[in-house]
Structure 1
Amino acid sequence: MLTCDFCGRRAEEGAATLTWTFAVENDRRKAFCDSCSRENLRSMEGKLDSEFW
C-alpha cells in the first residue's frame, strides 16, 4: 500500500496514483499524495538543479 511520506495519507487499494509525485532522497524512494504535492510544489521545484527547468 502506498503511503504519503509527508502527511501519512494512504492510497486506497486499486486507486490511481497518477497525481502523486515521487522522489528519491538518500537512496530511498518517497511518495507524496496529490494534496501535499500541490501544497509544496514551490519547495519541490526549488530543490531541482537548474538543468531541469
Structure 2
Amino acid sequence: MDEETHHRIQQPTQRDDAVVVCALCGTSAESGTTPPTWICSVENGRHQYFCEECARTHIRAIESRLDSAWW
C-alpha cells in the first residue's frame, strides 16, 4: 500500500453551546465565544478563562506565569 497519509493540524474549537465563565469570579461571557478582552491560561492541561477585570487585577501574576492558585 503506497497510500500517503495527510495529517492536518486542527486548532482547538469551542462548542457553540458552551458558556465561557471566568475561573475566578464566575462572570459569564454574554456570547458563546470568548471575548477578545479575556485571557486564556493553560494550567495542568486545562484551559481557564479570566474576565477583563480579574485579568487586570492579577496581570503581574499572569505575566510571571504563576498558576492561579497562587493569586
1 CA distance for matches of 2:46 and 2:33?
Answer: 23
Instruction: Structure 2 unaligned segments of length 5 or more: list them.
Output: 1-18, 67-71
Which amino acid is 2:25 matched to?
A: C
Match of 2:24 in 1: 6
Q: 4+ residue runs of structure 1 moved beyond 2 angstroms?
A: 13-16
Count of equivalent residues: 48
The answer to whether structure 1 residue 45 and structure 2 residue 63 are counterparts is yes
Distance 1:27 1:16 in 2: 18
Greater relative CO (CA pairs within 8 A, separation 6+) = 1
Greater helix fraction, Structure 1 or Structure 2: 1
Q: CA RMSD in A?
A: 1.9
Contact 2:21 2:28 in 1 (8 A): yes
Q: 1:28 to 1:14 in 2, by over 3 A?
A: closer
Aligned to 2:6: none
Q: Which has the larger radius of gyration?
A: 2
Question: What is residue 26 of structure 1 aligned with on the other side?
Answer: 44
The TM-score with structure 1 as length reference comes to 0.79
Identity rate, percent:
40
